[in-house]
Amino acid sequence: MIKVENIHKSFGGVEILKGISTCFDAGKTNLIIGQSGSGKTVFLKSLLGLHQPEEGKIIYNDRIYSELDDDQKTDLRQEMGMVFQGSALFDSMTVQENVMFPLRMFSKLSNAEMVDRACEVLERVRLVDAHNKLPSEISGGMQKRVAIARAIVNRPKYLFCDEPNSGLDPKTAIIIDQLIQEITKEFNITTVINTHDMNSVMEIGEKIVFLRNGLKEWEGTNKEIFKTNNEAVTDFVYSSDLFKKVREVYIKEAN
């Protein structure tokens, strides 16, 4: 679980986060959404410990980040996995070497143990024949699965994903969403996803936090978002005719 209590963050005298409070539960896919400039990227980087808020607290399973010493912060960061936008794989490394990289950096496993762990997570993301290929030799969807495998190879308690469906076709994006949700539940991870993909919101949005101008404008589930009368939320989510029709059908069936 991650609890956020009234965090504020400014850059150059401009306040970007203006007192956000929320909670992200383990075993759920938690989504952060909002327009460009809403503060969602700064919010995600604050959760990762890359930005230190001037006010407020971020609490990881009863550990207040701002009160930890350097060694404790290092230990906490090792409990985090990250799926970067664009996958961010090392071009000169094979798939297996990419997945093993965090183990070489942060674990004391033997090489044989690292190979076994890498094979285990590659099998979990359904990549069984790509171990010795370079990233350039596999598809974008497969690269994203490698990135997920690398993010979970150290068995993190917290998984952060920055636009995991960026650059993917709709069918592959759904597969990636389902995979992230499956892994979240299977390992009881606290997963936080920064996304603009409304399909992700509808498919896996078990908890959605909508940011607007540095504030938490709304939060709820993918079912509750259909019912909200918050104009800012509906303008953002239902900007396309497709989602307007989806909402109309949902409301009609609910009644």
pLDDT confidence of residue 241: 53
pLDDT confidence of residue 250: 56
8 Å CB contact between 145 and 91: no
pLDDT confidence of residue 227: 84
Q: Which residues of the chain have pLDDT under 50?
A: none
Give CA angle at 9 (76, 20), nearest 5°.
80
8 Å CB contact between 207 and 28: yes
Going by the DSSP 8-state scheme, the letter that residue 84 receives in this structure is -
Instruction: Count other Cβ atoms within 10 Å, centred on residue 25.
Output: 14
62: left (phi over 0), alpha (psi -120 to 50) or beta: left
pLDDT confidence of residue 234: 84
pLDDT confidence of residue 144: 94
Residue with tokens 């993917």: 168
Mark 201-218 as b/e (b = at least 16 C-beta within 10 Å).
bbebbbbbbbbbebebbb
pLDDT confidence of residue 226: 81
